[in-house]
């Protein structure tokens, strides 16, 4: 996208190179913004890092998912800024800047898929391709008032995408429109391996709402109450997870080890200046021990089995996508680190298990959006997307 047209500072300032797409298809005419960790032939890939950009050069092939969208008729409009090495959830990049959150301009857009969410929220694109390792589609979706998804881990091909922590990395997408959100799912997901029934059980995860700001939680619960008038009863349930902090620690250690394996050699070789927070996370990643990885893997496996039993084959959990509306762009590192710690307590339920999670825009606080998440059994992605559209319509905050 020409720099002059990028009013949201969402796109990388690369020279425009034509990218062919099909003239017809279910996505014909829909503008596609691609997170700059997916390869597009004729463009470089930065992964949010000047060092990664310089070390890898212009790509000659296009990532599998991007090809699928182009073949369905989507029109490529540019590559979008992401957080440095995709190792943040806030949306600030010390090297390339922070895209504007069009839904709340004084607040951060969320990361690491910040530019894709910004472009869609601000009307510069219709579809934003992103990725999610620890919340990178879920938080921007919530903060920018969008539909977004973290699919079942392994459901979508990551061929041609830069790896961060492969056993957690997924691709996802953003749209403003519920119908388009479902159309993209039809293009990318294929058939569900574990489809939900016609009337899946919806359970409000009571104890997870306690992790959210009380006013934000009340707004989400009001939306859920509106939805019950149209789609039937929603039951409350305590998950009784004994120590969410232990889950977060396990995730951080496993993610850290894999991030260091994927990106540590480049960081060690070039010693790049890393942005605030990113430097500390790589220092943590480098120090993770084999014993910590082994114990974290046990925690992950036990929790995954526990949540699988809770969900069964036909149960969907409702939980806040984030603990609050987006932090203020003016917040300092201390405030942002505190928010990140709170947010991880919610994100870990999808990240650590690999189960699919859809975010839908149903509520606001102080004029800024906050999303509701639907978390379902592994392999139920398309059914979960369809349920999210039904639920959004039933909540009736904003019909699409």
Cα 262 to chain centroid, rounded: 20
Residue (of 211, 184, 176) closest to 392 by Cα position = 176
Angle at CA of residue 181, ends 226 and 400, nearest 5°: 45
Given this model, what pLDDT does residue 199 score?
87
| Structural contact between residues 317 and 375, judged by C-beta atoms closer than 8 angstroms | yes
pLDDT beneath 50: ranges in the chain? 397-400
Which CA distances in Å does 35 have to 11, 68, 121? 9, 15, 14
What confidence score (pLDDT) does residue 58 get? 97
Per-residue confidence (pLDDT) for residue 398, from 0 to 100: 46
Q: What is the pLDDT of residue 399?
A: 38
For the stretch 161-180, pLDDT in tens is 999 999 999 999 999 999 99
The count of C-alpha atoms lying within 13 angstroms of the C-alpha of 242, restricted to the half-sphere facing its C-beta, is 4
Which residues have a catalytic role annotated? 35, 112, 136
pLDDT in tens, 60-111: 999 999 999 999 999 999 999 999 999 999 999 999 999 999 999 999 999 9
- Ranges of CATH 3.90.1300.10 domains, the chain: 3-188, 202-242+296-395
Pick the CATH number of 202-242+296-395 from 3.40.980.10, 1.10.1060.10, 3.90.1300.10, 1.10.520.10: 3.90.1300.10
CA angle 246, 333, 163 (to 5 degrees): 60
Assessment of whether the complete model's pTM goes beyond 0.85: yes
Cis omega (within 30 of 0) on the bond before 112? Answer: yes
Structural tokens at position 373: 């998440």
Question: Which residues are paired to 235 by β-bridges?
Answer: 203
Task: Measure the CA–CA gap between 324 and 108, rounded to whole angstroms.
Answer: 12
Angle between the N-to-C axes of helices 333-351 and 244-270, in degrees from 0 to 180, rounded to the nearest 10: 110
Cβ atoms of residues 137 and 175 within 8 Å: no
Nearest to 85 by CA among 262, 249, 218, 211: 262
Is 92 within 8 Å of 111 (Cβ atoms)? yes
**Tell me, what's the pLDDT at 385?**
98
Contact 376, 355 (CB under 8 A): yes
pLDDT at position 269: 96
Place of tokens 């569900």: 192
Q: What is the pLDDT of residue 400?
A: 41
Cα dist. 382→3, 8, 211 in Å?
36, 31, 28
Q: Which of 93, 96, 138, 146 is nearest to 119 (CA)?
A: 146
- How many residues does this entry show for the chain? 400
Which CATH homologous superfamily contains domain 3-188?
Answer: Amidase signature (AS) domain (3.90.1300.10)
Give residue 1's pLDDT.
78
């Amino acid at each position: 996208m020409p720099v002059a047209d990028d009013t949201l500072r969402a796109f990388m300032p690369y020279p425009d190179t034509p990218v062919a797409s099909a003239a017809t298809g279910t996505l014909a005419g829909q503008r596609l913004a691609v997170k700059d960790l997916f390869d597009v032939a004729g463009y470089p890939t930065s992964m949010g890092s000047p060092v990664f950009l310089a070390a890898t050069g212009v790509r000659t092939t296009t990532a599998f998912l991007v090809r699928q969208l182009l073949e369905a008729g989507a029109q490529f409009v540019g590559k979008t800024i992401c957080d440095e090495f995709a190792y943040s959830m806030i949306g600030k990049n010390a090297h390339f800047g922070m895209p504007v959150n069009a839904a709340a301009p004084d607040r951060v857009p969320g990361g690491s898929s910040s530019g894709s969410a910004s472009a869609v929220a601000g009307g510069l694109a219709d579809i934003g391709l992103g990725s999610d390792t620890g919340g990178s589609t879920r938080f921007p979706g919530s903060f920018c008032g969008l539909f977004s998804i973290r699919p079942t881990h392994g459901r979508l091909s990551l061929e041609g995408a830069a790896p961060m922590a492969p056993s957690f990395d997924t691709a996802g997408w953003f749209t403003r429109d519920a119908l388009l959100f479902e159309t993209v799912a039809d293009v990318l997901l294929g058939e569900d391996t574990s489809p939900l029934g016609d009337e899946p059980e919806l359970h409000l995860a009571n104890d997870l709402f306690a992790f959210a700001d009380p006013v934000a939680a009340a707004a989400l619960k009001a939306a859920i109450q509106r939805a019950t008038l149209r789609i039937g009863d929603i039951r409350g349930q305590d998950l009784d997870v004994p120590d969410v902090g232990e889950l977060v620690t396990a995730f951080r250690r496993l993610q850290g080890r894999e991030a260091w394996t994927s990106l540590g050699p480049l960081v060690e070789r070039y010693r790049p200046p890393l942005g605030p927070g990113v430097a500390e996370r790589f220092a943590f990643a480098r120090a993770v021990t084999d014993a910590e990885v082994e114990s974290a893997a046990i925690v992950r496996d036990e929790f995954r089995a526990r949540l699988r039993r809770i969900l069964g084959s036909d149960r969907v959990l409702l939980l806040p996508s984030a603990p609050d509306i987006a932090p203020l762009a003016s917040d300092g590192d201390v405030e942002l680190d505190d928010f990140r710690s709170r947010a991880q307590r919610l994100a870990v339920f999808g990240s650590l298990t690999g189960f699919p999670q859809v975010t839908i825009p149903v509520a606001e606080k102080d004029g800024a959006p906050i999303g509701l998440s639907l978390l379902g059994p592994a392999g139920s992605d398309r059914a979960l997307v369809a349920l999210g559209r039904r639920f959004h319509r039933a909540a009736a905050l904003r019909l699409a």
